[in-house]
Structure formats: structure tokens, C-alpha cells
């Protein structure tokens, strides 16, 4: 069977653009993870996510924002990894209803966008409504953007592939730390299970 072209993969009727943890408490100016926030901005990844979201709105591609947050009392939060304990001690907590869990500029959230919030785990897809929503939307291809290339992005790609979705990763619209780790993750892992492309290539398809 011939491999599908990028244009075929990115049919607006069956494509959903997902932003992962592009919230003010993660990639914003008052981030709990300043090194990650700086890399997301300095690399241009956050700007490229915003460009993709804007183009998706124009091309009638569904946009979904995955937000990680926690209750003030921490109930339901995962505690089975060192990362979760470290996050719980950060000076900025991703508390539900606060500025920290709002989508960060320059990304614009449209009325038709879906925002999916999770209180636990490492992936926007595991144990959330994301899979059911994607299936109800008729999604076949999921574009994965945002942070971080260390944890949430590979988790999302693995989960989506295991659930039967085709995955597209714009390499310049994801970020992790240190800066040189992201291209290694892309080349040695994500490229094996997803279609790796760029923001400009996706925009060219939708504009065409």
C-alpha cells in the first residue's frame, strides 16, 4: 500500500490539532518550569504552535488544547513517580481555575476549540476524554504540538498510535530541555512512529 502524502494525512475533515500543556504556568512568563518556558519561546516552538492554531481555525481544522492541572487539595493527583513529587513542590502550581492553567499567548483560543483538562498522569490521552472526543469528531490524524519533548509529547504520540490514529509531529512546534534533547527524541523515537514535518509544510498544505 503506498504511503499517504502529507496533504492526504492532513485532510481538514479528519484532522485534529492538539496542543499539549501550552498553558501559562508551564510556558508562560510566570512558569513553574522557567527553563522549559524559555526553550519553548527561544526555539520558536510556542510561536509555531500559535501559527498552527491560527491556520487550523482558518482551515476549519478542529483544535484541542490539553491542559494539566490539579485541585488545591491535590486529590486525584498522581504520586507514583519522582516527577509528580517534584511538581507538587514548585513555586507555581497548576491549580484549576487559576491563571496558570489558561492557554498562554500568543496562542489564541477560539469558541469552537475544545479544552480537555486532566488531574493525573503524564499524557493528555490516558484516562481523559481525548480519545472519545477524537472518535466522535471523526479524527484519523492527530497533529501533536507543545511540551514537553521529555515526557508529555512522546506519551501522547505513543498513546495515539496505540489507539489507531495517524500522528503528525511538526518538529519545530514542540520543545523540551535541554535544547539538544528534542532533536534526538524526534530522530531516534518519534520519527519511527509518526510523520515528522514542519510548521511551514503543514501551513502550505492547508493554504493550498
The pLDDT confidence band at residue 4, using thresholds 50, 70 and 90, is: confident
Report the Cα 159 to chain-centroid distance in Å.
13
pLDDT at 1: 41
pLDDT at 2: 59
Structural element, H or E, at residue 34:
helix 34-42
pLDDT at 86: 74
The answer to pTM > 0.85 is yes
Spatial neighbors of 25 by CB under 8 A, at least 6 apart, are 31, 32, 92, 93, 94, 98, 99, 100, 101
Q: Tens digit of pLDDT for each residue in 82-103? A: 877 777 777 778 899 999 999 9
Amino acid at each position: 500500500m503506498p504511503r499517504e502524502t502529507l496533504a492526504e494525512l492532513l485532510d481538514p475533515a479528519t484532522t485534529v490539532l492538539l496542543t499539549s500543556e501550552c498553558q501559562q504556568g508551564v510556558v508562560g512568563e510566570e512558569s513553574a518550569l522557567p527553563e522549559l518556558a524559555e526553550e519553548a519561546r527561544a526555539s520558536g516552538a510556542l510561536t509555531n504552535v500559535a501559527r498552527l492554531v491560527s491556520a487550523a481555525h482558518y482551515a476549519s481544522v478542529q483544535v484541542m488544547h490539553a491542559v494539566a492541572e490539579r485541585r488545591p487539595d491535590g486529590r486525584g493527583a498522581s504520586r507514583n513517580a519522582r516527577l509528580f513529587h517534584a511538581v507538587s513542590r514548585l513555586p507555581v502550581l497548576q491549580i484549576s481555575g487559576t491563571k496558570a492553567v489558561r492557554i498562554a499567548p500568543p496562542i489564541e483560543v477560539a469558541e469552537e476549540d475544545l479544552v480537555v483538562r486532566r488531574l493525573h498522569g503524564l499524557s493528555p490521552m490516558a484516562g481523559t476524554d481525548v480519545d472519545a472526543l477524537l472518535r466522535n469528531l471523526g479524527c484519523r490524524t492527530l497533529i501533536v504540538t507543545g511540551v514537553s519533548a521529555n515526557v508529555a509529547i512522546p506519551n501522547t504520540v505513543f498513546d495515539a498510535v496505540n489507539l489507531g490514529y495517524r500522528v503528525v509531529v511538526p518538529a519545530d512546534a514542540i520543545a523540551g530541555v535541554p535544547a539538544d534533547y528534542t532533536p534526538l527524541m524526534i530522530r531516534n523515537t518519534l520519527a519511527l512512529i509518526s510523520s515528522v514535518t514542519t510548521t511551514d509544510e503543514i501551513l502550505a498544505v492547508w493554504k493550498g
